[in-house]
Amino acid sequence: MKGDEVVSEIIAMILAGGQGTRLGVLTENVVKPAVPFGGKYRIIDFTLSNCINSSIYTVGVLTQYRPRVLSTHLGIGRDWDMDRKNGGLFVLSPYAAAAEGEWYKGTAHAIAQNIDFIDQFSPQYVLILSGDHVYSMDYNEMLDFHISRNADATISCIRVPLSEAHRFGTVITDNTSRVKEFEEKPKNPRSQLASMGIYIFNWKLLKPLLIEDSKNEESSHDFGKDIMPKLVNENVNFYAYEFEGYWRDVGTIESFWEANIDLTRSMPALNLYDANWRFYTHSAEMPPAFFGNESEVVNSLTSEGCIIHGKVDGTVLFQGVKVKKGSFIKNSVIMTNVLIGENCIVEDAIIGENTIIGDNCKIGIGDKVKNERYPNIYTGGISVIGEGVVVDEGSTVGKNSSIGNFLNTKEMKVKVVPSGKNLRIDGLV
């Protein structure tokens, strides 16, 4: 591709290297943007679909942490109509050059490493996105705002309760929406406007900024920590765009579970059925969901390839899930190809792909005891079982507990994982 022939007004760069440590076993083997969500999607599908629906067809995806599942999912971008002659989807992994080879040191460094990639499209604007969030947003509205303010940089913000604001980068603006101050995860937040990790830059401004930053050895090369404060200090035209709509940071077990369960309620804020704003994904070819004679399903999402003979309430069933007779699943997220045996009770649980739950198991039963080893990860009374796990028949798994990926409780001779405990390769901790 010759740079001088291809010009895109705007190109998107999606930061998809986030490890997502607070998702526990769910991100032990996959990067956060590749975590399954909402019955058939993966988290990054929402960002990619927003790009397509906003007519942005040149997208770079920056990967780093455990990219296998993500890269397989993305392919050449065909499922998002991004397999194009001009532009399209590009997976950009860290690389080694002649003199130096290194991992992306931070979000800004990741973009800086790909300056030549961006340059070949000669874009006017660069849209920086995160592959970690579930949301529905028309980037054109933000771009219109950016252009109308004659801005050099625009940050997209959403109003959050003041008590929550310490988890985000917060923005203080004047009455023209110009950014006056930016604080990354402040202890005592003074603003409700939280950064969504979405920025539009004039490439002319951003490029020298990134080059300068990458040479600065004291910088942590992060957009939130280094670039944003610099924009404020250097007095460029830096504006905050206030987004009103659905946006979730599904970075914790509790918020991930809640965002999924929200979809089962009536009229959820995230509309998956809007024909004018479709979410695209790469999914397996499976027949329609089958409901047996004894099935009782209410308030739930079911997916292709499901075979349901039990009771399901307030639950998201991914593709190919099988629920056998006499089992009852409530308020849970059951991922692709999970098999749930007969007469099981599953409550407030997240169960990873390809896991097998034997007959007569009780998952999510017990007192809400605080998780001893990982009190900040396994919260909200939710039981998390990883992918490819075999749970022996007649087992019990308590609340705020977890079972690591690919473990076999029968081989490990563990019948009970009590509330607040974690089953790991080295045993019950």
Partner 1 sequence: MKILGLILAGEKGQNLGKLTNKRASAAVPIAGKYRAIDFTLSNMVRAGIKRVGVLTQYNPRSLMDHLGSGREWDLDRKNGGLYILQPYVSDTSQLWYRGTADAIHQNITVLRRGDEDYVLIGSGDHIYNIDFTPLFKYHLSTSADITILTKSVEGYDPALYGTVKTDQNERIIDFKEKEKENFGDKINLGVYFMNKKLMMDLLYSTVPNGKYDLVRDVIIPNIENLRIMSYKFSGYWRNVKKSLIEYKRINMDMLNPEILNELFSPSRKIYTKLKDLAPPKITSTGSVVNSIVADGCIISGKVSNSVIFRSVNVKAGAIVDNSVVMEGSTIEEGAKIVNCILDKNVTIRTERSYIGYEEPLFFEKWQVV
Residues at the site binding partner 1, with contacts judged by CB under 8 A: 38-40, 79, 263-264, 266, 272-273, 278-281, 283, 285-304, 307, 316-318, 320
Nearer to partner 1, 220 or 299 (CB): 299
SS3 of residue 150 by DSSP:
coil
Nearer to partner 1, 1 or 298 (CB): 298
Q: Quick count: other Cβ atoms within 10 Å of Cβ 86?
A: 12
- Nearest one of 120, 14, 109 to 67, comparing CA atoms: 14
* Location of structure tokens 């998107």: 12
Give the CA distances from residue 96 to residues 83, 93, 101, 104, 113, in Å, rounded to whole numbers and listed in that order.
Answer: 26, 10, 4, 11, 10
Nearer to partner 1, 8 or 295 (CB): 295
Nearer to partner 1, 94 or 305 (CB): 305
CB of 298: closest distance to partner 1 in angstroms?
A: 6
CB of 278: closest distance to partner 1 in angstroms?
A: 6
Nearer to partner 1, 39 or 123 (CB): 39
Contacts of 422 (CB under 8 A, 6+ apart): 371, 373, 374, 378, 401, 402, 403, 404, 428, 429
CA 48 to CA 54: how far, in whole Å? 10
CB of 23: closest distance to partner 1 in angstroms?
A: 21
CB of 45: closest distance to partner 1 in angstroms?
A: 9
Nearer to partner 1, 115 or 307 (CB): 307
How buried is 190 (Cβ within 10 angstroms: 0-12 exposed, 13-18 middle, 19+ buried)? exposed
Nearer to partner 1, 8 or 264 (CB): 264
Sheet holding 402-403, edge to edge: 316-317, 333-334, 349-351, 383-385, 402-403, 422-424, 427-428
CB of 83: closest distance to partner 1 in angstroms?
A: 10
Report DSSP letters for 90-125, one per residue.
Answer: EEE---B-SS-B----SHHHHHHTTHHHHHTT--SE
Contacts of 124 (CB under 8 A, 6+ apart): 9, 10, 202, 203
CB of 113: closest distance to partner 1 in angstroms?
A: 32
Nearer to partner 1, 255 or 299 (CB): 299
CA 305 to CA 285: how far, in whole Å? 9
CB of 300: closest distance to partner 1 in angstroms?
A: 5
CA 104 to CA 114: how far, in whole Å? 10
Amino acid residing at 72: T
Give the CA distances from residue 365 to residues 347, 375, 398, 417, in Å, rounded to whole numbers and listed in that order.
Answer: 7, 18, 5, 10
CB of 301: closest distance to partner 1 in angstroms?
A: 4
CB of 79: closest distance to partner 1 in angstroms?
A: 7
Nearer to partner 1, 205 or 301 (CB): 301
